[in-house]
Amino acid sequence: MDALDADPIKRVDLNWETCYRIVGGIARGILYLHEDSRHRVIDRDLKASNILLDADMNPKISDFGMARLFVVDQTQENTSRIAGTFGYMAPEYAMHGRFSVKSDVYSFGVLLLEILTGLRNNSFDHLQERGNLLSYAWRHWKEGKALQLICPTLRASASVREAIRCIQIALLCVQEDALDRPTMGSVVAMLTSFSVSLALPSRPSFFVNFETTVTNRSHFAESEKLI
């Protein structure tokens, strides 16, 4: 199996239909962990390199080394040992150690934006833009240019309706307030049925200020020492 981010050159062979199927498969996988498995599992490290693709481009979520099990009816947990990948971590987890199903939803939103745009959030330097992938996507959304976010290799075969809907779903997932983010059950429903209406996303949480970015990275580095 290849990781989703293993070879960017392979994106040339990725059409919209296949991409949409991969996105749906990842969403259903997270939904299974959150709602359908014997124990509720919070991944805490959902990112492109932890999504494996088989020969038929079916996605499999891998590497559960940082995953946590929740007991019945548990919705949130706090930790002082923050582990994960900066850029995919929800703000409430990165800053305060709070994680829940909604922190996985946030990570999925970042991952979805990466898949759609072909850009990486952790090393964002697209045309010398300030900020990161989330601020870049939000700016395009607010300016009515969401379709321009889709990477050129996908745009040629993309369904405009599906593409814009996916961008909107991603932005709903990365909203700053965890309560505003959808559950993965809602995400799967939104991806599979156009009859499910979508709310308008609010401004995402993103660390565009240099001082804030450095502070968060330092916080992350100190947390890693505890592990």
Structure tokens of 148?
Answer: 């321009």
Could you tell me what percentage of the chain is helix, strand and coil, using 3-state DSSP and rounding each to the nearest 5? 50, 10, 40
* Catalytic status, residue 45: yes
List C-alpha distances in Å: 25 to 20, 55, 115, 220.
Answer: 9, 14, 13, 30
- The span from the CA of 137 to the CA of 127, in Å, is 14
Strand, coil or helix: 185? helix
41, amino acid identity: V
**How would DSSP label each residue in 196-213?**
S--PPPPPBP---SHHHH
- The span from the CA of 175 to the CA of 171, in Å, is 6
φ/ψ of residue 41, rounded to 5: -115, 130
Structure tokens of 114?
Answer: 């990466």
C-beta neighbour count of 110 within 10 angstroms: 29
Catalytic residue among 2, 43, 45, 73: 45
Task: List active site positions.
Answer: 45
